[in-house]
Every structure is written in C-alpha cells, then in structure tokens.
Amino acid sequence: MDFHRLEIFVEVVKKGTFSRAAVSLFLTQPTVSSHIAQLEREVGSPLFERRGRKVVLTPAGEEFFPIARDIINMKEKGLEQISRFKVETKGTIEIAASSTPGTYLLPRLLGSFQKENPDISFSLNLTPSQKARELVASYQSDLGLTGEGELGKDLEQFLLYRDKMVGIIPGGHPWQGKEIEIKDFLEKPLIVPQPGSATRKILSDGLASRGFSLENFKVYLQINSLEGIKNHVRQGLGVGVISSVALNKADELGEFFIKGLDLYRNFYVVYNPRRVFPGWVEKFFLFLKERSELT
C-alpha cells in the first residue's frame, strides 16, 4: 500500500475538503482526487461521502482512518529512530489545555523554557479538559494540559502540578490570610463556576465530605470564567473559591482558608504514547517531565 496515498487520505480527513488538503500538501485537487480514488479501489470500498464541497468519512472510512494514521505514525517513528542524531530544535508545539492550566500555569512554565529555547514557539488551544484529551488522542495536538477526568485507552499522563484551592475576598477584608469556620463561610453570598466546571465539582465534593452542599449557600452568581469570579469578588459582591495558581498580586484580592476543608486540584500533562515527537516537542516534553510533582 502506497504511503503517499495514506498520507493524502489522512490529510483530507483532517482538512475536511480535497481542496484544503491539496493546498496543505502542495498538490492539485485533481491529483488528490485521483490518489483517493486509487486508494478506494485498493481497499475495495468508498472512504468518503461527498456533501457539497465538504467530505465526510463513510463507515468504512471511519474504520480505516485510525489504521492509516497508525501506519503513517509507525513510518515516522522508524525514520525518527534512524535520524535520531539529527534532531531539530526549532518548530511550533501544539498544546490543548483546559482554562486554568492554560491561562495561569503554562505562562509560568514557558517563562523559564523560552530563555533556553528561543526558536521554539507554541500554539495554544484553550478548551475543556475532555476535548483537550480528544485532540491529543487524535494527533491534532502534541500535548494536553488538563485537570482530572477519564483518560481513555490511547493516552497516558503524569502529574505536573498539585494546586491548593483557596477562598478569595476583596483585598483588606477581615478574613484575609485567616482560617474561618465553615458556618461563617455559609453566611456569605457565593460566586461559583457554572455546572460542569472542575473547580465547582471539587468544591461540591469537599462540602459533601463535611455534610454540606451548595444548596446551603446563597449562590449570588454562577459564571463560567475565573476572571469573572475574581472581578465580582473584587467588587465585594460575594466570596469565591478558586485555584491558587490563578491568583496574582495585581488581582488585589485576599486569600482565606476554611477550617477542615482542604481542597486540591491536580493538573496533568496528557500525551499519546504512539505519537513520535519531533525534537522540539520532545525537548518540551522532557522539560515538563522534570518538573513533574511525582519526580
């Protein structure tokens, strides 16, 4: 089976149209169409269904796609091993990350990495943790930075950072830096993430362990944004609980702690063990591995 045809097939799947795949591969659209037609004759079944300008996989195409992708990856792995002494250290790393690690943790890591690796750049896709894992599993992203969740059989991960959750109040508040009783916490209006947020789940689980729930609170606002939570707390509209990694001095917010309620959130580096990393991705992967909280 022709590797080039398999590469064209995989590119068409990724791009969604023959024309976009042709541009990406520096080929003409008729050439792409011809290779796909030959591949379909070879496998004995149509692989795409044409819907206007777009194409979608047939059931046979869906079965064949992961096989073709793995064949290409095995080829790349062999070539990488042969040329392992010619590792490139210049390129772009595709990262899929959930909001908190992507917005607040990654910049701190890149600050030290960039000094030693100025020729390596990054493309960051902020997306929910589950979607980030899917992008890594489907080879669309090199690495993922996520919270907890179902990993999937095709992925592996290691713990990068264990973050303590803290209560937040406006700067100068009497609670600042103190540990308060949970009954005092219950009396304040609460600003929380919307359902589905990892931060909300950790808070809910922690309260449940003490015999409470969010229903015991006066929930003033539900908002799907950490910056939104901080802004509303800063205006004195309520209190919140967020990851400590999301706080900085410029926020003008104070921290407080709730007696008997120790909340932590884990952030992971997710990767596809079948993926053959180019040199620049491997370098960043090892950089993260060295900073793993399990080392």
Q: What is the pTM of this model?
A: 0.65
What average pLDDT does range 122-151 have in this prediction?
Answer: 91
Summarize pLDDT for 182-204 with one digit per residue, the tens.
888 888 899 988 887 888 888 88
Architecture of the structural domain at 3-82: Orthogonal Bundle (1.10)
Residue labelled with tokens 């022709």: 2
What average pLDDT does range 147-157 have in this prediction?
Answer: 85
Q: Is the pLDDT of residue 140 over 90?
A: yes
* pLDDT band with cut points at 50, 70 and 90 for residue 216: confident
Q: Is the pLDDT of residue 86 over 50?
A: no
Portions of the chain given CATH number 3.40.190.10: 91-161+267-290, 162-264
Domain spanning 91-161+267-290: CATH superfamily: Periplasmic binding protein-like II (3.40.190.10)
- The domain over range 162-264 is classified in CATH as 3.40.190.10: yes
Portions of the chain given CATH number 1.10.10.10: 3-82
pLDDT at 81: 66
Backbone CA torsion sign across 127, 14, 93, 156:
positive
Q: Is the pLDDT of residue 95 over 70?
A: yes
